[in-house]
């Protein structure tokens, strides 16, 4: 029987329910317990519970079903004895897998030891018109999981657990920040300048104001404006957008957590970061050893610190000190056969970043702090007092993925202007990831900034790693997908 034929059968059952005076889509249902709670109660307890029916088998005078929600599932038993023969048999013919139902009855334990509700009354709470998928085959159905996540959640216990872990991770991080004096804020998603990171933005047009605007690539400059306004410690779970390539560790729209702390430097921030990650893992998983990329990784203790120039030299053979300008570095990259797209258009900082990402980062297991970034690579970071060619910055790396990017922030408005002007020149020369000159942000800086250390974590990326996944789409409920061909064919043409 085709899915459309099954759908028509279920529509006919809706008509039969209505003829019998049973609303197939009632407005509410009063329950006494969630399913996981009810499953822990003693025999003899009367409960009123509800959920989606995920299993059903009729056995004459007795029928067993399972109902489920996001937290768990519970067995229910429909019997001639408690419901009456006619009503029991009638319900058995009208019920389908996927229906939402509510049941009221007394808990008992079956011969196999499973806690079960002996149903006295049953209510339809939402008739499903389409059958649930019978089987899921991992990678073969992965695209369907992304496109119809609701079916993945209904059918796959592991998926439900993974997304609940994500929620617990965000909650644990939020608690730790607030325990340490941080305040949660919101900043604009639509901005007049694509500032806050080196990235290609999404552009759109604001019709009411008749101006071109950009989806934010980071909340950084607005959060720092709040520090100018007197906030001491602020954070935001910000949806960010970067019009760049997609791969297992990058999405073009993603969740970024950023925070800024006045009067800290990057050393304070590194210590705080280690404590935050360790506290989060311990709270969520009960251990500091987590399996990542197929092997256990220990997050306990202190974490090593490695310099950018050091890891680039080790893994690419290039000594950055011998190549002080972009042309020289680009020539050396070409000589060594390292593939960098549009190398001739990139500034020295962007070239260093590409060398590091292609040769060094994939080999860094971590957890490790990367420090000593060249100034060209960090237009918003403070110069190091010990070496003005480098910045006070660190990145936290785990299994070849960047999890955290942090600075001692640049608070000198004159230095910041000079760096943004250089970024503007690079942008004009064709580097569309260079940062735009943001006069409004520079104006805010000129009213005075205290010492600040800031921080950004890719939440999707962190959750992907610690839940043992390989693709960010597996921890995002509804990742953006190319429309199916059937949908594209229905699009109107101009």
List, for residues 186-231, the tens digit of each pLDDT value. 999 999 988 877 788 999 999 999 999 999 999 999 999 999 999 9
Instruction: Note the pLDDT of residue 180.
Output: 98
- What's the pLDDT tens digit per position in 291-341? 998 899 999 999 999 999 999 999 999 999 899 889 999 999 998 989 888
Which tokens go with 39?
């499953």
- Please give the class, per CATH, of domain 3-126: mainly beta
Contact 15, 138 (CB under 8 A): no
CB atoms within 10 A of CB 222: 23
Helix (H) or strand (E) holding 436: none
The domain locations on the chain are: 3-126, 155-304+366-475
Question: What does the angle CA 478 – CA 257 – CA 222 come to, to the nearest 5 degrees?
Answer: 115
Provide the CA 346 distance to its chain's centre, in angstroms.
30
Burial of 207 from C-beta contacts in 10 A (0-12 / 13-18 / 19+): exposed
Could you check whether 3-126 and 155-304+366-475 share the same CATH topology? no
Instruction: Note the pLDDT of residue 493.
Output: 45
Helix (H) or strand (E) holding 357: none
The segments of the chain whose pLDDT lies below 70 read 134-140, 486-494
Instruction: Note the pLDDT of residue 139.
Output: 39
Instruction: Note the pLDDT of residue 433.
Output: 72
Nearest Cα to 50, choosing from 34, 26, 64? 34
- Beta-carbon contacts of residue 200 (< 8 Å; ≥ 6 apart): 242, 243, 244, 432, 433
Instruction: Note the pLDDT of residue 487.
Output: 59
CATH T-level topology, domain 155-304+366-475: BirA Bifunctional Protein; domain 2 (3.30.930)
- What's the pLDDT tens digit per position in 418-436? 988 888 888 888 877 777 7
**What span, in angstroms and rounded, lies between the C-alpha atoms of 328 and 318?**
11
Instruction: Note the pLDDT of residue 297.
Output: 96
Instruction: Note the pLDDT of residue 250.
Output: 87
DSSP secondary structure code for residue 474 in this structure? G
Rounded to 5 degrees, what are φ and ψ at 344? -65, -20
Rounded to 5 degrees, what are φ and ψ at 421? -65, -40
**What span, in angstroms and rounded, lies between the C-alpha atoms of 113 and 452?**
60
Instruction: Note the pLDDT of residue 486.
Output: 58
Partners of residue 212 on adjacent β-strands: 205
Burial of 181 from C-beta contacts in 10 A (0-12 / 13-18 / 19+): exposed
Which tokens go with 445?
């800086």
């Amino acid at each position: 029987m085709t899915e459309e034929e099954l759908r028509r059968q279920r529509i006919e059952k809706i008509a039969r329910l209505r003829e019998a005076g049973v609303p197939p889509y009632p407005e509410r249902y009063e329950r006494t317990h969630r399913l996981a709670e009810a499953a822990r109660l003693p025999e003899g307890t009367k409960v009123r519970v509800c959920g989606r029916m995920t299993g059903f088998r009729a056995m004459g005078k007795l029928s067993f079903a399972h109902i489920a929600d996001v937290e768990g599932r519970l067995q229910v038993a429909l019997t001639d004895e408690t419901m009456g023969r006619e009503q029991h048999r009638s319900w058995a013919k009208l019920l389908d897998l996927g229906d939402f139902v509510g049941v009221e009855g007394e808990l008992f334990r079956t011969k196999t030891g499973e806690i079960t509700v002996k149903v006295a009354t049953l209510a339809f709470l939402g008739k499903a018109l389409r059958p649930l998928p019978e089987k899921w085959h991992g990678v073969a159905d992965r695209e369907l999981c992304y496109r119809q996540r609701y079916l993945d959640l209904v059918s796959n216990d592991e998926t439900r657990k993974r997304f609940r872990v994500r929620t617990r991770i965000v909650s644990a991080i939020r608690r730790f920040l607030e325990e340490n004096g941080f305040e949660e804020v919101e900043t604009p998603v639509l901005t007049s300048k694509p500032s806050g990171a080196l990235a290609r933005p999404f552009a759109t047009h604001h019709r009411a104001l008749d101006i071109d605007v950009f989806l934010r690539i980071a909340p950084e400059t607005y959060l720092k404006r709040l520090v100018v306004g007197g906030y001491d410690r602020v954070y935001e779970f910000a949806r960010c957008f970067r019009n760049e390539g997609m791969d297992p560790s990058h999405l073009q729209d993603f969740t970024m957590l950023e925070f800024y702390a006045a009067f800290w430097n990057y050393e304070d921030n590194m210590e705080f970061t280690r404590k935050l990650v360790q506290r989060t893992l311990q709270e969520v998983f009960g251990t500091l050893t987590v399996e990542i990329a197929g092997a256990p990784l220990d997050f306990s203790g202190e974490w090593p610190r490695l310099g950018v120039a050091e890891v680039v030299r080790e893994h690419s053979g290039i000594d950055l000190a011998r190549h002080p300008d972009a042309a020289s570095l680009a020539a050396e990259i070409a000589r060594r056969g390292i593939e960098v797209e549009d190398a001739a258009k990139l500034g020295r900082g962007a070239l260093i970043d590409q060398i590091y990402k292609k040769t060094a980062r994939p080999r860094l297991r971590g957890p490790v702090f990367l420090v000593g970034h060249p100034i060209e690579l960090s237009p918003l970071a403070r110069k190091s007092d010990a070496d003005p060619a480098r910045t006070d910055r660190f990145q936290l790396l785990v299994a070849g993925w960047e999890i955290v990017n942090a600075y001692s922030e640049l608070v000198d408005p004159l230095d910041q202007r000079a760096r943004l002007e250089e970024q503007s020149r690079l942008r004009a020369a064709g580097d569309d990831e260079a940062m735009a000159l943001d006069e409004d942000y520079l104006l805010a800086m000129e009213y005075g900034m205290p010492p600040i250390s800031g921080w950004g974590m890719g939440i999707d990326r962190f959750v992907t790693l610690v839940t043992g996944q390989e693709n960010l789409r597996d921890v995002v409920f509804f990742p953006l997908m190319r429309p199916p061909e059937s949908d594209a064919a229905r699009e109107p043409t101009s």
